[in-house]
Amino acid sequence: MDTLSRRLAASTAAGLLFLALSACGDAAEPAPAAGAPALDQSSLAAAQANLDKYLTVPTSIVQSAALTKVPPKKKVGFIQCADPACAKLATYIKEATGALGWNLVTVNATATDPGSAIQQAIDAGVDYIATTGFPVALFKQQMAEAKAKGIGVFLCFSTDVPAGPDNDLYSDCYDSTAAGAYASAMADYLIVQSKGAVNALVVSIPTYPILTAQVDAMRAELAKNCPACKANTLEVTVNDLVGGAVPQNISSYLQAHPDVNYVYFTYASLANGVAPALRAAGLSAKVKLVGTQGSQPQMKEVADGTSAAWSALPQELSMWTMVDQMARLSVGQWSLPDERTAAVPPFYLVTTADAANALVNLEDGWPGPAGFKDAFRKLWGV
């Protein structure tokens, strides 16, 4: 997912041990800004309570209801983007569908025209279509045809809201609801760590709705639990990211706004090259870096103290979660409330070197709760 335009089009897409929050990091925490209103203790307690839910490694999947019978054989079409990282998602969904004994057809798609790939899947006679990141707005014609032919559609890393048979969309894991959950958790981490002195720079690409949803949720949580806290957004483009301009954009912003004490990345690739750039500019001691969906590079930074915290969002689990919704539909056990609950798969915040060191050897980050694949197989009766 190094190229965000493709990664987000496909997968916009995504602490292992509980340690006392006071032990997080070695650097001194920022003191409340001079003249800033004292943080209300009840608000601080609310922030701490929400944060506490995400400081331990999840040990179980969300789904708990077993299927009443083994799912019948199905053919699934997975629409895959051109980025090599998206091929990794394909391997995850292949393993999950394989556990059910299902056939998987993978069709490559471009970032701007998923409809053509989806049409190929429809023409191939699939029973279900799965894809990541693509909004339904990009394939309205194919969505209508899929609905007419009884082909269920399943998403992950998008902002479309499933309504089952009403709109033919049966899942959207890690959707805007999930974005709200992990953005709120990180916002509360900043509140607690700074003791109410947050002045954050939120780095995002506004053309992607899933990132905008995260920015909005982060701002809302700060407004609720720390009205005096600040969050300004640095909006960059895909061209900025691909061209390597983001580190310099951030450095320039921080030089012009010396009161900023946190940089929050809404997506891991936005952090590429930032830490070295800040060191070169003499800014690394002034700000702490945090972000969403950290993988191996970000966990290494938390381990060495370069970054303060990253959320661990399991991509592998997300694909199994999407297949689980297919399995439920195949036996007549799909329900919207169940899907909405499953739309926020387990995640946690990695805030300590010890927690990060447990993940630095995992190229794709935390895969999910230990034994989650066996848990799904048991639920499916296979």
55 — pLDDT class (breaks 50, 70, 90): very high
How far apart CA 176 and CA 245 sit, in angstroms, is 27
pLDDT for position 32: 44
pLDDT for position 112: 83
pLDDT for position 219: 96
Q: Report whether pLDDT(342) > 90.
A: yes
Chain centroid to CA 371: how far? 21
Q: Report whether pLDDT(360) > 80.
A: yes
Strands 230-235 and 199-204, sheet pairing:
parallel
pLDDT tens-digit profile of 249-259?
999 999 999 99
Summary mean pLDDT of the chain: 89
pLDDT tens-digit profile of 78-106?
999 766 667 889 999 999 999 999 999 99
Q: Report whether pLDDT(24) > 90.
A: no
| 17-31, 59-73, 149-163, 176-190: the lowest-pLDDT one | 17-31
Q: CATH topology of 20-54+178-312 equal to that of 75-174+315-342+370-380? A: yes
Q: Report whether pLDDT(308) > 50.
A: yes
Strand order of the β-sheet with 75-80 is 103-108, 75-80, 128-132, 152-156, 169-173
| 12-26, 29-43, 266-280, 328-342: the lowest-pLDDT one | 12-26
pLDDT for position 207: 81
Question: Within 13 Å of residue 61, how many CA atoms lie on the same side as its CB?
Answer: 28
List the chain domain ranges.
20-54+178-312, 75-174+315-342+370-380
Q: Report whether pLDDT(8) > 90.
A: no
Chain position carrying tokens 């946190």:
262
How far apart CA 106 and CA 93 sit, in angstroms, is 10
Among 3.40.50.150, 3.40.50.2020, 3.40.800.20, 3.40.50.2300, what is the CATH number of 20-54+178-312?
3.40.50.2300
pLDDT tens-digit profile of 117-148?
999 999 999 999 999 988 899 999 999 999 99
pLDDT for position 90: 93
pLDDT for position 13: 36
How far apart CA 155 and CA 93 sit, in angstroms, is 12
Q: Report whether pLDDT(298) > 70.
A: yes
Just give the CATH number of 75-174+315-342+370-380. 3.40.50.2300
